[in-house]
Structure 1
Amino acid sequence: MAAAKYHGVELDPRTFMGEPDEPSPSPATLVRWLTDQGLVAKGMRLKWRYLVRMSNTPPIVLMFKDGSAGVMVAADAANDLVWLRDPMGTESDPALAVDELRLSQVWTGDVLMVRRARDQAETEMPVDMRWLTRVVMREKSLLRDIGLSSMVLSVLTILPALIVMQVLNQVLAHHSLATLFSVTMILIVLTFYETMLSYGRRELVLVLGARVDSRISIHIFNRLLALPLEFFERNQTGIVIGRLFAIYKVKDFLTGKLLTTFLDLFTLLIVLPFLFFLNASLAWMVVATAGLIGLVVIIFMGPISFYVARSIAAEQQRGSLLYESVAGIRTLKTLALEPQRKQLWDERTAEATRWRLAAGRMSNWPQTLTMPLEMFISRGVLLIGALMVIKGSSGMQGGSLIAFMMLGGRVASPLISFAKLLEDFTEVRTSLGEAGAVLNNPTETKALTTGMRPKIKGALSFIDVDFSYPGATTKALDGLNVEIPAGTMLGLVGRSGSGKSTVTRLLQGVSRSYTGYLKLDGIDMREINLTHLRKSFGVVLQDNFLFRGTIRENITAGRPGLTLDDVVRAARLAGAEEFIERMPAGYETFIEEGSTNISGGQRQRLAIARALISDPKLMILDEATSALDPESEALVNANLTRIGRGRTMVIVSHRLSSLVDCDLIMVMERGKVEDIGPHQVLLERCAIYRQLWMQQNRHTNPENRGAGPAPLLAEGD
């Protein structure tokens, strides 16, 4: 707390979620928490002699053996002392001087270094080739070791060729068995060292790839979660997932072909001068032929890029259909939609196959045109070199020719690979663009990690609030002005499209592009830390998602450290206790994916219990009882008064009977407040409310008992 406050960040201890099996938070767990709060933290182990010299550093957190911690605010190496302060205290609290002996009795040796994140942290950088290169370059020590081993391997590549040349030119001419034996032993030793170095380099490359893969995976998932809800509402889930996975093609390119080719360039830089030493004419032939291969590839880059982009887009459309079919399998089966989906899948498959085949055919042309050039390097150069040996015009001997061919392949391979990298780069650039189309959207990171963290009481104020959805021609909220005291149970009613659910979206911080002022306890919502805001709310939607896991894990999803007593209390308030206790495993009953083993009403009551577990001061129920059967709805409605005790509640419902006991009911019409007041008052003075009430309760009027059902005009938003 004190270390964070030094950097201008206020932390809320209630947002901390430790590991379930940890008796006290570890440095790694604290690092993750502080990172989520917008700080940069690093845990390390230090010895006293280093700690006491850190006198000009910001506060350092010291981890103690009993699970607590202390903040080191000063150090004096001359007197061998450090000064500690309680991390939960204030700056006015006196610091305690501690020497090595006293500290060693309580200190684990672990420290936590904390600093404020830079304005343009790596997590907020655009996902492009520059960012990916930075991710790879963070492994400088591995890259250094890989480069060093490549240089040694390049030198070892030359020696066997030199030895073979000497064997052919000298040993065979003089029939010296002793020299041949010595040369053989040298070759065996060189082969052993080259094999071991190659193994070590491959191992380093694998470790590099694994680390880069982990960093990319963590980053893209964090970046995905930081995107606003509006982004996911506008884009197909299957398309989003397909674009995200395209980044792994880029990762494979960076740690695969690109890295291998650049490693081979070490060989090129060392071996190529030696080839010119053996025979300049043949060396120039190899270089010129590789240049021609590169020219052919460059010519075809444009057309290949076009077809590759179409192929990737078609694959994403097919993947989106697959995801949608699996996600909606229940609807698909119940409506017998298999024939239609099969037809659509066949069409998407045909489209993807057509573009993939077109891309493959276009890629086949440069491969076909460059094949004769590659063959010339391996065969034509040999024939020309043999002619030079026969004529003796260049002074080249048979041993030199064999040595040239041994090394020529090592030179030609990276040259050809480097030329073909341009072809691969086309697909990589397209894949990176696809991933960037998702990951480079504006995120909520700043709102999630900065801002005020006030203690929530629940008073709401709407002052001239206007809001329009992107692309809409009319306002969803138009000059909304209303004051809601803390502890009020507020009902929201109105016809479809009147703006009821829009109000709840603004309260949750889903949309912040409104004009005017929306205040919570006198503080504008846009100034409040978004994570703190959402954790302080309890939200129950019309269709709630339960995670695969036990009932207890689902209820404590946002507060995993809470006890079973807390779970039972929340379940009792939500009216879920009675059906949970009837289950064989009680609160440890496992909920399958899609909540297939519980009813819709049970799922809704578990969602209400999940919202209540943190005892929020403000709750939002957006059509929360619409999926309940009459018995379950009556049970939840009976508990609403108890649920709302001591907290502000905003209840959106098209069933006006569930809002009768609300302190206030706000009637909305076309984004404006038509009227606000208790149920009986609105029945007398608000025509819209009275009409909605009569439509839903006409069966209670004897005069209307044979009439047909009236449409429910208050449904949804």
Structure 2
Amino acid sequence: MNHTSGSPGPGVAVNQSEPPPESAAHNAADVGVNPQTKSRLAAVIYTARYHGVEMDLEALRLRPAEPAPSPPVLVEWLREAGLWARGVPMNFRQLMKVDDPAPIVLLLDDGGAALMVGRDRERGVVLLRDPLSGPSDPMVGVDELRLKQVWSGAVLLIRASRHGRAEEPVFNLGLIAGLVWEDKAILRDIAVASITITVLSLLPILVVMRVLGTVIEYHSMDSLAMMTLMLIVVVIAEALLSGARKLLEVVLAAKLDSRLNLMVFDRLLALPITFFERQQSGEIAYKVGQMNKVREFMTGKLMNTFIDLFMLTLLLPLIFYISGTLAWTVLIAAALLAAIIAAFLRPMGVYVGKIINAESAKSSVLVESIYGVRTVKALALEPARAADWDRRVAEVAQLQVDQGKLGIWPMALSLPLQRYCSFGALLLGAYIALKTQNPTDVGSLWGFMMLGGRVAGPLVSLAGLMESIQDAQTAIAQVGNVLNRPNEKHALTHGLRPSFQGEVEFDTVTFTYEGSKAPALDKMSFKVPAGTMLGLVGRSGSGKSTVTRLLQGINREYNGAIRIDGYDMREINLRHIRKHFGMVLQDNFLFRGTVKENIIAGRPGLSFEDAVRAARLAGAEEFIERLPNGYDTFIQEGSPNLSGGQKQRLAIARALITDPRILILDEATSALDPESEALVNANITRIAKGRTMVIVSHRLSSLLDCDLIMVLDRGRMVDLGTHHELVERCAIYRHLWFQQNRHLSPEGFNDAGTAPILAQER
């Protein structure tokens, strides 16, 4: 092994602008894990800092006994931080050819990592640095033999952003073509197989055309046997190649389908919540489902058309060689076919658009009925929903019938022309031969008939391709109508990732919902320190839930500033915010799976003890232990085996599993029975320890332990104070309090020494 210490010599490729590694090593050393994991984390942190990104170790949730994080875990961690990352296998020679000055993370066999920061091609060594070393420690030159003893080829490549683009490309036909082109090797093999199959399919025709007349004229059995044997060999070879090509096409379609599905799901989840609130679920599902048409077009019709084009380039010279007159008639017939199809493209496209819209509306009725089946059955709405479904089905059926009627015309007009190319040219050839008294041999006529039919097919396919392109463009437009909308991708991958304490400040925040004239929040300003339990009260429509939406980053188009610990919220990474903010709604959704899986959904790597701890804090442990299988009890879709209070307490446990710095309860106890509400309220103080809590509730009794209560009215903050202060000085709060506690009269309250001061009413 060759070792090189100190400064590299001449001809050595090395990064000259390395960031100081001591902070990366220090950050990784703070994690209570084994040395190999520390080394691997330090290497990733070092490389990410080289690209200007600070990594959040808390996002990994590592545990002391866990092995070093795998490449997929590290790649996901880096991608969440806004970097491009990929785990790939490489060999020593490939490492030596890399010209990028950025550090490369080598994942060692023992679970650790090394940083490749340069290479010395003259001596054949790579320059490595220990991620946990100090800035004064020298690089080490390692040759291939020594490196192979500790490294099997696993590499983590990290870049600032793929292709240097901050924005995602528009979803269109060009983007899908680019995805197909990524498999150039498969496309090449399909092309070679197609060319060979085309030649093999023409060979029998040419042989029969030349030999058939001789065999019949001279009664040559040997020639017939030879021709038969050759045809059998050609057919077998064609069958094998056709099977291989079909397999390649299946693989290509599967890979494209996987890429499209991953991309669609990723973009779909990056859309803002406001989009899903305004769109029907069934309509979204149907539009996204049009992706299958696009994939079938790219790997089916389009590819077959290119294959037909190649066949056409071989066939045209042959048929002109056999008979120029007949060849021209076939071309004219094919041109008329194309003209007929082109004439009906636009009207057929109109029907395609109408059918897609009608199918979308029909799908919305189906999804809505399934999603709300409890309400449908509870209110006996089956006849009404069935009538709506019948109407949608009839609308789709009528449009399909109308489209079918229109489609009859191009089919009826083109059929005589197709039959002429297949058989009519043969009759015309026979007529010309008889008329000119210069008969063409039987083999030539038979060969022209076969070749003429094969010429018409590709030409018709070319004309039909225009129709398929229009269908594909319509499908892409439907998918693009969903995926090309402004999304949260940039906010989810870029921005600051500070360590939160929990201070919340609204500075003259004004926000108006789309389509509304009156602002939901009107120049709202307040500031609460970290660790505060803040209650929000007010009449319906006063802006309580809007405050929580802005805190979650659901709506970001507001005027003014929202600051968390002094950081402007719009400058903070959105995923970082949502990971460190807990949210419990009035109606929470539980996924299909076990109780434990639902509790740790936000951190799937956490242990059973973590789930128990969160359930105990949320007051859910007692009912979970009574379930048939405890934490392993399976929850069906819609949670039919849980009560409303049990679902709510599981949702609170799910929010607490991430140990959020800020916890938002938006009417979280409104659906609970008195016993469950009392149990959750009894735990509120324990839940609030060490974090800021924002509690929205119509039940003022659940806010008595809050440090501060803010009263809202018509988007403005009316007052901010403790319960007793607000009862004294805030008319709105006092009215709500006595309305909910009718057994307490104002006179009785006066006797308690906390009479309202009417003169201070606002």
Does residue 681 of structure 2 align to residue 632 of structure 1? no
2:387 is matched with which residue: 343, 346, 369?
343
After superposition, the Cα gap between the structure-2 partners of 1:458 and 1:488, relative to the gap in structure 1 and judged at 3 Å, is same
SS at match of 1:75: strand
Amino acid at match of 2:150: V
Does residue 156 of structure 2 align to residue 112 of structure 1? yes
**CA displacement at 1:394 relative to structure 2:** 6.5
Match of 2:281 in 1: 237
**CA displacement at 1:442 relative to structure 2:** 0.6
Does residue 254 of structure 2 align to residue 215 of structure 1? no
SS at match of 1:469: coil
After superposition, the Cα gap between the structure-2 partners of 1:197 and 1:621, relative to the gap in structure 1 and judged at 3 Å, is same
After superposition, the Cα gap between the structure-2 partners of 1:123 and 1:466, relative to the gap in structure 1 and judged at 3 Å, is closer
**CA displacement at 1:359 relative to structure 2:** 1.4
Of residues 249-258 and 638-647 in structure 1, the stretch that sits farther from structure 2 once superposed is 249-258
Match of 1:522 in 2: 566
Partners of 1:2 and 1:89 within 8 A in 2? no
Distance in 1, matches of 2:402 and 2:555, equals 43
2:663 is matched with which residue: 612, 619, 639?
619
**CA displacement at 1:94 relative to structure 2:** 5.9
Does residue 719 of structure 2 align to residue 675 of structure 1? yes
Partners of 2:425 and 2:452 within 8 A in 1? no
**CA displacement at 1:176 relative to structure 2:** 2.7
**CA displacement at 1:369 relative to structure 2:** 1.2
Counterpart mapping for 1:81-92 below 5 A: 81-87=125-131
Match of 1:261 in 2: 305
Distance in 1, matches of 2:156 and 2:100, equals 16
Match of 2:648 in 1: 604
Give aligned pairs, total. 704
After superposition, the Cα gap between the structure-2 partners of 1:322 and 1:458, relative to the gap in structure 1 and judged at 3 Å, is same
**CA displacement at 1:97 relative to structure 2:** 4.8
Does residue 410 of structure 2 align to residue 366 of structure 1? yes
Does residue 361 of structure 2 align to residue 331 of structure 1? no
Distance in 2, matches of 1:396 and 1:432, equals 51
1:427 is matched with which residue: 468, 471, 479?
471
**CA displacement at 1:96 relative to structure 2:** 5.0
SS at match of 2:743: helix
After superposition, the Cα gap between the structure-2 partners of 1:121 and 1:55, relative to the gap in structure 1 and judged at 3 Å, is closer
TM-score by length of 2: 0.89
Counterpart mapping for 1:385-396 below 5 A: 385-392=429-436, 396=440
Match of 2:400 in 1: 356
Distance in 1, matches of 2:653 and 2:132, equals 31
Match of 1:67 in 2: 111
Amino acid at match of 1:475: P
After superposition, the Cα gap between the structure-2 partners of 1:97 and 1:586, relative to the gap in structure 1 and judged at 3 Å, is farther
SS at match of 2:660: coil
Partners of 2:738 and 2:744 within 8 A in 1? no
TM-score by length of 1: 0.94
Does residue 193 of structure 2 align to residue 135 of structure 1? no
Amino acid at match of 2:268: L
1:187 is matched with which residue: 231, 253, 272?
231
Match of 2:360 in 1: 316
Does residue 699 of structure 2 align to residue 658 of structure 1? no
Higher relative contact order, structure no. (Cα contacts within 8 Å, ≥ 6 residues apart): 1
Q: For structure 2, which runs of at least 5 residues remain unmatched after alignment?
A: 1-44, 749-762
Match of 2:686 in 1: 642
**CA displacement at 1:161 relative to structure 2:** 1.6
After superposition, the Cα gap between the structure-2 partners of 1:394 and 1:495, relative to the gap in structure 1 and judged at 3 Å, is farther
SS at match of 1:107: coil
Deviations 1:487-521 (A, max 9, x none): 11100111111111111111101011011111111
Amino acid at match of 2:681: N
Q: For structure 1, which runs of at least 5 residues remain unmatched after alignment?
A: 705-717
Distance in 1, matches of 2:77 and 2:367, equals 33
Counterpart mapping for 1:330-479 below 5 A: 330-392=374-436, 396-479=440-523
Amino acid at match of 1:253: F
Deviations 1:49-68 (A, max 9, x none): 43345464411111122323
Does residue 611 of structure 2 align to residue 576 of structure 1? no
Q: Report percent identity of matched pairs.
A: 53
Distance in 2, matches of 1:93 and 1:544, equals 54
After superposition, the Cα gap between the structure-2 partners of 1:365 and 1:29, relative to the gap in structure 1 and judged at 3 Å, is farther
Deviations 1:323-378 (A, max 9, x none): 01110111111111111111111111111111111112112221111111111111
Match of 2:759 in 1: none
Deviations 1:560-607 (A, max 9, x none): 111122111111110011111122311111111111101110110011
After superposition, the Cα gap between the structure-2 partners of 1:9 and 1:661, relative to the gap in structure 1 and judged at 3 Å, is same
Of residues 396-405 and 46-55 in structure 1, the stretch that sits farther from structure 2 once superposed is 46-55
Of residues 116-125 and 584-593 in structure 1, the stretch that sits farther from structure 2 once superposed is 116-125
Match of 1:710 in 2: none
Match of 2:3 in 1: none
Partners of 1:247 and 1:435 within 8 A in 2? yes
Match of 1:485 in 2: 529
Amino acid at match of 2:429: G
2:631 is matched with which residue: 573, 582, 587?
587
Amino acid at match of 2:647: R
Of residues 189-198 and 477-486 in structure 1, the stretch that sits farther from structure 2 once superposed is 189-198
2:69 is matched with which residue: 9, 25, 30?
25
Match of 1:715 in 2: none
2:575 is matched with which residue: 531, 534, 539?
531
**CA displacement at 1:699 relative to structure 2:** 2.8
SS at match of 2:119: strand
Partners of 1:17 and 1:560 within 8 A in 2? no
Amino acid at match of 2:415: M
Distance in 2, matches of 1:429 and 1:341, equals 33
After superposition, the Cα gap between the structure-2 partners of 1:153 and 1:116, relative to the gap in structure 1 and judged at 3 Å, is same
Does residue 193 of structure 2 align to residue 149 of structure 1? yes
Amino acid at match of 2:617: L
Distance in 2, matches of 1:251 and 1:56, equals 35
1:174 is matched with which residue: 218, 224, 228?
218
Of residues 401-410 and 219-228 in structure 1, the stretch that sits farther from structure 2 once superposed is 401-410
**CA displacement at 1:90 relative to structure 2:** 8.2
Partners of 2:512 and 2:518 within 8 A in 1? yes
After superposition, the Cα gap between the structure-2 partners of 1:306 and 1:90, relative to the gap in structure 1 and judged at 3 Å, is farther
**CA displacement at 1:38 relative to structure 2:** 2.8
Distance in 2, matches of 1:111 and 1:553, equals 32
After superposition, the Cα gap between the structure-2 partners of 1:91 and 1:389, relative to the gap in structure 1 and judged at 3 Å, is farther
Distance in 2, matches of 1:281 and 1:90, equals 85
**CA displacement at 1:395 relative to structure 2:** 6.2
**CA displacement at 1:620 relative to structure 2:** 0.6
Distance in 2, matches of 1:89 and 1:559, equals 31
Deviations 1:84-115 (A, max 9, x none): 34557887876555454554343232111111
Distance in 2, matches of 1:101 and 1:167, equals 65
After superposition, the Cα gap between the structure-2 partners of 1:191 and 1:91, relative to the gap in structure 1 and judged at 3 Å, is farther
Distance in 2, matches of 1:691 and 1:452, equals 43
Distance in 2, matches of 1:645 and 1:113, equals 41
SS at match of 1:44: strand
**CA displacement at 1:254 relative to structure 2:** 1.7
Partners of 1:39 and 1:117 within 8 A in 2? yes
After superposition, the Cα gap between the structure-2 partners of 1:263 and 1:31, relative to the gap in structure 1 and judged at 3 Å, is farther
